[in-house]
Amino acid sequence: MNIYEVKSMGNRIHGNEYVGRGIVIGKTEDGTKAAIAYFIMGRSENSRNRVFKKEGDNLTIYPFDESKVEDPSLIIYNPVMVNENKTIVTNGDQTSTIYDVMEEAKAMGGKGMGFAFEKALKTREFEPDGPNWTPRISGVVVLKNDDFFYKLSILKSADAEGSACNRFTFDYNPLPGVGHFIHTYVTNGNPIPTFQGEPERVSIPDDIDEFYDDIWNNLDENNKISLYVRYIDLKTGKYDDRMINKNK
């Protein structure tokens, strides 16, 4: 087994019926951009009833058909939020929790800003949807000195009963052409098996459309719902993005 093996996103997800929600963060091959991707999948009518919508620099999920909403708390949230030089991406409303703790740190003169991500997630747990206990996955990109660093996190149930939460954080210095992919589930099942181990190493091409197509075209056709990709220029902080919703 090669622990340093890097595979394309298409290779990682092709033929897998259900990886749930996924976050990818990494650096382009030419070293000039930070790449972020977030996608959602769904098996139930409630899960499939969603669309992404850009609102300024942020991304929000809304119900496609409001009349079919069963539990809005698990559908309506901001997967992507920007706080100055930091871009937060998560699979739930913990995006706002992280943003708010960063604001608190700024109000205190930046004290604790380096650990705001971990501090915020210490207050959160996996989703209360037993017996699956869907993990909360989160990431943050911090631009600094024409470069960046990034973190990924997963909050998982400690057992089948959901009696405790285990928290894992991964801290990365970016390598050109390399990213890390974390997702909520291993594959389909009943209950659905949650993600195991470290985030998976994936290749990050220079071309945003190549990356975007590789993900969307290899997600399971029946269960994929929406995808958002953002490439951030490390010198200017400006970004280019792509978005698609299966629900038109």
Q: Is the pLDDT confidence value at 75 over 90?
A: no
pLDDT for residue 73 is more than 70: no
Q: ω into residue 131 within 30 of 0, thus cis?
A: yes
Is residue 32 predicted with pLDDT exceeding 90?
yes
Q: Domain 9-245: state its class.
A: alpha beta
On the CB side of 221, how many CA atoms lie within 13 Å of its CA? 0
CB 9 within 8 A of CB 26: no
- CA separation (Å) from 37 to 67, 193, 204? 29, 22, 11
Q: Give residue 25's pLDDT.
A: 99
pLDDT of 161 higher than 80: yes
Show the 3-state SS of 140-204.
Answer: EEEEECCEEEEEEEEEEECCCCCCCEEEEEEEECCCECEEEEEECECCCCCCCCECCCCCEEEEC
| Integer Cα distance of 183 and 49 in angstroms | 20
201 in Cβ contact with 210 (< 8 Å)? no
SS3 category, 96: helix
Higher pLDDT residue, 158 or 3?
Answer: 158
- Pair 203, 5: CB distance under 8 Å: no
More confident residue, 170 or 70: 170
Q: Is it the case that residue 123 has pLDDT exceeding 70?
A: yes
CA distance 208 to 241: 8
Q: What is the pLDDT of residues 91-103, one digit of tens each?
A: 999 999 999 999 9
Query: What integer pLDDT is reported at residue 74 of this predicted model?
Result: 63
Residues with Cβ < 8 Å from 199, sequence gap 6 or more? 152, 170, 180, 181, 182
Range ranked top by mean pLDDT from 53-67, 68-82, 215-229 = 215-229
**Given this model, what pLDDT does residue 47 score?**
83
User: Is pLDDT of 63 > 80?
Assistant: yes
| Band of residue 111 on the pLDDT scale cut at 50, 70, 90 | confident
- In the predicted structure, residue 3 carries a pLDDT above the cut 90: no
Q: Report pLDDT for 112.
A: 75
